Chain A
Amino acid sequence: MAEIIQEEKQKGGKKKPKKGSAHIDMTPMVDLMCLLLTFFMLTTAFSKPKIMEILLPEKIRKNEKVEPPKIAESRTLNIILGPEDKVYWYPGKADPASPPPLQETDFSATGIRQVLFDRNRALFKKIDDFQKKVISGEIEIKQDSVQAAIKQLKTDDDTGPIVLIKAYKTSKYKNFVDIIDEMSIVGIARYTFTDISWLEEGMVNTALGIAPPATAAK
């Protein structure tokens, strides 16, 4: 209130306000602000880094008498991360007498993802059926819980492959992240990381050293 009154008084008192607005030279201020603005624009990181969660099975200690879980050979898919972003895979179990041929592929959409998709077809059929039923109204479910239900289907799935991921000694961390990524894209519920065996290492060595016969078989 006090201020307003004062203002009025001033207006009343001064009959002739000064002509010509008082210009303040704002150039230095603008300069400074330009500088600061540029600085903050360049230093701001808009995208926060993302995280990818992985859960590994508990390690079996040497002195513990726990049998490692047994898995069906028919459902097993072995993936070996090779050097230079190569991926090798073979199904089932490696027999030392006649090692199975390694299939070579890569991280592209038609590479390892296709292999995993093919193996996981049953699950995707289930998801597709589920979605169709939701659309046709056979299953009544809230719109926002559809995704959660699909996720549940993926985790409950027990027909899909069990993927054992191994890494050759010269593979990179990038490959490790990529393969986990593929797992989540394809919706593989069961996968783990195991140590590469000498046999598999030898198989990769042959695939690398000599012209790989595995690629021709593909």
Chain B
Amino acid sequence: MPKIKLPTKSPHIDMTPMVDLFTLLLTFFILTATMRPQEPAPVDTPFSVSEKTILDANVMTVMLAADNRIFFNVDNGPDTILHFRPKILAEMGKRYNIEFTPAELRKFEKGNSAFGVPIQNMKTYLATNNLKDREAMEVGIPIDSLDNQLALWILFARQINPAVNTMIKGDANVEYPIVKEVLDILQDKNVNRFNLITNLEKIEVTQKITE
């Protein structure tokens, strides 16, 4: 009886459909991915039922980290040609008699993430590239009445970009007095409309209220 000869070829699997699918998925994920700038401190935002999504441009964010440090962030506006960030920093520098070089301004513009550095340390902060060193410098923006830098940041941000919207991104466990202080500073600068950044929570309002 003749023995059945097994094929000696290595069993090749046709991977083309798999590759097709992978490419498709990969393209989808690459296109939908929005690169979020790295945040200097973890912030767990509280939940709410609000369904408005966050704006993409014209935003200034006051971040309240869980350890009560305050960070500030402002974007370049709807068009990067506008260069809002370096302009705001330059104004801030003028107020504190700190001259920022064009290179530093450019670096600040590109940074695009929130910062929590007193303006006096901004020069060294911009000069360091080491993430750990940078993190050590993030002590929070001073808000005490003697040297209220947050108020000045808000003031200049609004002067340079009048269309700016105020966002408050607070950690769920920040104590209320800090929030109150920040709200007071904002109201002192005539900002009465805020947006609190939250996560969506599903609440079922199934109760029959009217009888």
Contact = CB atoms under 8 A, between A and B. Distances in A.
A40 B33 contact: yes
B197 A51 contact: yes
A121 B20 CA distance: 59
Interface string A140-153: 00000000000000
Given A33-B19, A40-B26, A44-B33, A51 B210 contact: no
A178 B173 CA distance: 12
A30 B36 contact: no
Contacts of A117: 207, 209
Given A81-B176, A171-B175, A57 B22 contact: no
B143 interface: no
Given A44-B32, A128-B210, A173-B174, A50 B197 contact: yes
Contact of A172 (B23, B36, B176): B176
A169 interface: yes
Contacts of A168: 176
A174 B46 contact: yes
B97 to A, nearest CB: 29
B174 A55 contact: no
Taking residues whose C-beta sits less than 8 angstroms from the other chain, chain A's interface range is 35 or more
B198 A177 contact: yes
Nearest to B45: A49
Interface string A160-180: 000000011111111111101
Contact of B25 (A23, A37, A127): A37
Contact of A30 (B18, B33, B172, B187): B18
B167 interface: yes
B194 A47 contact: no
B46 A30 contact: no
Select the residue from B30, B50, B171, B200 with max chain A CB neighbours within 10 A: B50
A34 interface: yes
A51 B179 CA distance: 16
Interface in B21-56: 22-23, 25-26, 29-30, 32-34, 36, 45-55
A3 interface: no
B46 A177 contact: yes
A27 B179 CA distance: 54
B108 to A, nearest CB: 24
Nearest to A43: B33
A37 B22 contact: yes
B207 A26 contact: no
A125 B210 contact: yes
Contact of A174 (B173, B178, B180, B203): B173
Given A125-B210, A170-B176, 13 more contacts: A27-B15, A36-B26, A37-B26, A40-B26, A45-B36, A49-B197, A50-B50, A50-B53, A53-B193, A58-B192, A109-B203, A169-B177, A184-B49
25 contacts: A26-B15, A27-B15, A30-B22, A37-B29, A40-B33, A44-B32, A50-B200, A51-B54, A51-B167, A52-B196, A53-B50, A53-B52, A54-B193, A59-B188, A59-B192, A117-B209, A121-B210, A124-B209, A171-B175, A172-B176, A173-B171, A175-B176, A177-B46, A184-B49, A185-B49
Interface of A: 23, 26-27, 29-30, 33-34, 36-37, 40-41, 43-59, 81, 109, 117, 121, 124-125, 127-128, 167-178, 180-181, 184-185, 193, 195
